[in-house]
């Protein structure tokens, strides 16, 4: 491990461990922040970066170990206390109130008061102006935040953090919504802030940014800090090696498969979604899936994995274009219904918000997609539905006392099996699986892996999206990597390594 620096840290985490009802997400972590330095923190999704930062900034109060501020142990009860002690955090998601003005946002809850107890607008404007000038923003303090672009809203948030007179500024992927020029402005601010003795923790996936702005680099993996050192001592390889680790544990071995003919092909797919949290722009996407083949798609947070699957599935007919072939036949997919009828199925990423109808029964959840695509007529075919439900409860070993039980009384793993059954019931040829094992326990995970394997053996084409590298490596026959809005790598399982995948997944600015 590289040695950090001889200076005294302003903030330290000592032997921090943390779990969320289950395995440890942080294991005995030691982490230091120094005045006048930018410490970059990098790691795979779920490595524990955000958890650690949330502990340092008082968001999580339940942890083992010690936080030491300027040599004294502290324990914050809430983010406000941390802020008052000089630690501000800027989260990935925007935390501004769009209907208030810039000035009101910066000084929210701490507005200067007049002698009568009303807000001193003069003072508020004067104070805000100082920060706007610092951030080189042209907008007046009275501008409503909702009329600003996302990047500028982000700057307002940064101004808010600075206004606490923060000595330590934590930024969690602050540039994901910023343009290049705006990133430069942000970096100028960070450099100025450093000069005045401020300490910065900077989380980002963008290596070029880290090399440009940071003084120290800390690499995390699986809840541990695996590498630290001066930024000059790092190169891309050293970071990637730290992020992915050496050993690839395999709990499940995918059997060698025989592929059939091509079942799915997309060429020149494009998707543009305008969104508050940053636009999603996918382009030049072409690939194919054969019968019996599992194609894994890996990408870091924000790469557009889910959007790609939903786009191919006809969920954004107006914002996407491209040509899709199913079993060699070109098909027009302008709606989800057409996609299902063409033999596609999508097990969505977020079970609760996109997959399940929590007020409905197991049975009703299971048959809904088949009702749309497979059963003609006006009436719900109850007898055939019952058959279908019994069939899948047995086949997938779904643990439910009765098909009429409300779905919300089942465990996460069983709920996921119902969602998968719902899609198998449409008799698809090509299955899109978006994070199929998120939030389910180890045993259910194994069952889901085996099920995916069986489906491939039964001749279905499978497109698997996962943010867990081991999952991708375990299941996939071929691996595509999504970054910079397009596919940056396409490799067979034999040639795929964690390093290669991670190299392709880290976006260029």
Partner 1 sequence: MNNNSLSISIPGISWQKFQSLIAILLLSALLAMLTDNFLTTENLWNVLRQISVNVCISVGLTLVILTAGIDLSVGSVLAFGGAVTAGLLKNGVEVPAFNLFLEFTVMGAIIAGLSVSTFLGWINGIAVTKLRIPSFIATLAMLTMARGLTMLWTGGFPITGLGDSFTFIGTGWLLGMPMPVWITAVVVGLAMILTNKTKLGRYIYAIGDNEEAAYLSGINVKRVKMIVYSLGGLLAGVGGLIVTARLDSAQPNAGFGYELDAIAAVVIGGTSLYGGRGTIMGAVLGALLIGVLNNGLVLLNVSPFWQQVIKGLVILIAVGLDRFQAEGTE
Residues that bind partner 1 (CB under 8 A): 310, 313, 315, 335-337, 339-340, 346, 348, 353-361, 363-364, 368-369, 371-373, 375, 377-380, 382, 385-386, 389-390, 402-404, 406, 422
Distance of closest approach, residue 390 Cβ to partner 1, in angstroms: 7
Question: How would DSSP label each residue in 17-78?
Answer: EEESSSSEEEEEEEEEE-TT-EEEEEE-TTSSHHHHHHHHTTS----EEEEEETTEEE--SS
Please give the Cα distance from 89 to 70 (Å, whole number).
Answer: 18
In the complex, minimum distance from the CB of residue 428 to partner 1, in angstroms, rounded to a whole number:
12
Q: Extract the tokens encoding 357.
A: 């109808």
> Given the complex with partner 1, which of 236 and 334 has the nearer CB atom?
334
Q: How far apart are CA 303 and CA 316, in angstroms?
A: 17
Secondary structure of residue 194 in the 3-state scheme? helix
* β-bridge partners, 144: 101
Structure tokens, 286? 């072409």
Q: Minimum Å distance from CB 367 to partner 1?
A: 8
Least spacing, CB of residue 376 vs partner 1, in Å: 10
The nearest distance, CB 373 to partner 1, in angstroms, is 6
7, with CB counted inside 10 A (0-12, 13-18, 19+), is: exposed
Of the two residues 339 and 502, which places its CB atom closer to partner 1 in the complex? 339
Among 375, 282, 277, 370, CA closest to 322: 282
Contact by Cβ (8 Å): 153, 94: yes
Of 112 and 406, nearer to partner 1 (C-beta) is 406
Please identify, using beta-carbon distances, which residue of 159 and 396 lies nearer to partner 1: 396
- Looking at the Cβ atoms of 259 and 375, the one nearer to partner 1 is 375
- Compare residues 189 and 344 and give the one whose CB is closer to partner 1: 344
Q: Considering beta carbons, is residue 98 or 359 the nearer one to partner 1?
A: 359
**What sign for the dihedral angle of Cα 204, 210, 214, 217?**
positive
CB atoms within 10 A of CB 23: 10
Question: Distance between the two ends of the chain, CA-based, in angstroms?
Answer: 28
Residue 180 buriedness (CB in 10 A; 0-12 / 13-18 / 19+): exposed
Quick one: 152 or 363, whose CB is closer to partner 1?
363
Instruction: Look up tokens 């997944």; give the residue.
Output: 505
Least spacing, CB of residue 419 vs partner 1, in Å: 9
C-beta of 238: minimal distance to partner 1 in Å?
42
Q: Identify which of residues 124 and 371 has a Cβ nearer to partner 1 in the complex.
A: 371
CA dihedral (373, 378, 379, 383) positive or negative: negative
Find the angle CA(103)-CA(106)-CA(112) to the nearest 5 degrees: 70
Closest distance of CB 414 from partner 1, Å: 17
Output the smallest distance, CB 370 to partner 1, in A.
10
Select 315 or 452, whichever has its Cβ closest to partner 1: 315
Measured CA to CA, the distance from residue 258 to residue 240 in angstroms comes to: 33
């Amino acid at each position: 491990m590289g040695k950090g620096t001889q200076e005294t840290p302003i903030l330290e985490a000592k032997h921090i461990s943390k779990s969320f009802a289950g395995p440890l997400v942080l294991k005995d972590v030691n982490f230091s922040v120094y005045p006048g330095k930018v410490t970059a923190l990098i790691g795979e999704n779920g490595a524990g970066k955000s958890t650690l930062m949330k502990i340092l900034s008082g968001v999580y109060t339940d942890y083992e170990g010690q936080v030491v501020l300027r040599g004294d142990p502290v324990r914050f009860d809430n983010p406000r206390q941390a802020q008052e002690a000089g630690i501000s955090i800027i989260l990935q998601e925007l935390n501004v109130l769009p209907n208030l003005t810039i000035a009101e946002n910066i000084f929210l809850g701490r507005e200067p008061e007049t002698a009568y107890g009303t807000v001193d607008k003069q003072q508020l404007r004067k104070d805000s102006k100082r920060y706007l000038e610092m951030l080189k923003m042209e907008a007046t303090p009275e501008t409503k935040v909702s009329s600003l672009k996302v990047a500028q809203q982000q700057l307002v948030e940064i101004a808010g953090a600075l206004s606490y007179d923060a000595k330590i500024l934590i930024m969690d992927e602050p540039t994901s919504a910023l343009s290049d020029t705006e990133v430069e402005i942000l970096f100028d601010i960070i450099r100025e802030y450093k000069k005045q003795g401020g300490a910065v923790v900077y989380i980002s996936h963008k290596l070029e940014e880290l090399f440009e702005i940071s003084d120290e680099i800390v690499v995390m993996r699986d809840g541990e800090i695996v590498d630290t050192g001066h930024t000059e001592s790092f190169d891309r390889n050293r970071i990637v090696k730290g992020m992915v680790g050496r050993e690839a544990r395999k709990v499940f071995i995918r059997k060698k498969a025989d592929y059939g003919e091509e079942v799915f092909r997309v060429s020149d797919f494009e998707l543009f979604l305008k969104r508050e949290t940053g636009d999603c722009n996918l382009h030049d996407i072409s690939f194919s899936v054969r019968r019996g083949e599992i194609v894994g798609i890996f990408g870091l947070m924000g790469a557009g994995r889910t959007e790609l699957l939903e786009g191919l599935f006809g969920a954004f007919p107006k914002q996407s274009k491209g040509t899709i072939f199913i079993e060699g036949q070109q098909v027009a997919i302008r709606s989800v219904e057409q996609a299902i009828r063409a033999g596609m199925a999508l097990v969505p990423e977020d079970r609760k918000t996109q997959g399940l109808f929590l007020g409905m029964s197991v049975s009703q959840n299971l048959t809904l997609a088949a009702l749309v695509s497979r059963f003609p007529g006006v009436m719900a075919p109850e007898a055939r539905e019952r058959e279908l439900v019994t069939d899948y409860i047995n086949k997938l070993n779904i643990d439910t006392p009765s098909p009429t039980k409300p779905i919300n009384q089942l465990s996460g793993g069983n709920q996921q099996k119902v969602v998968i059954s719902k899609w198998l019931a449409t008799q698809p040829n090509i299955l899109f699986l978006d994070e199929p094992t998120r939030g389910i326990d180890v045993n259910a995970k194994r069952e889901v892996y085996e099920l995916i394997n069986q489906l491939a053996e039964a001749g279905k084409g499978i497109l698997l999206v996962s943010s867990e590298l081991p999952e991708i490596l375990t299941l996939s026959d071929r691996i595509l990597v999504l970054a910079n809005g397009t596919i940056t790598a396409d490799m067979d399982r034999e040639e795929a390594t964690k390093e290669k995948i991670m190299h392709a997944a880290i976006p260029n600015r």
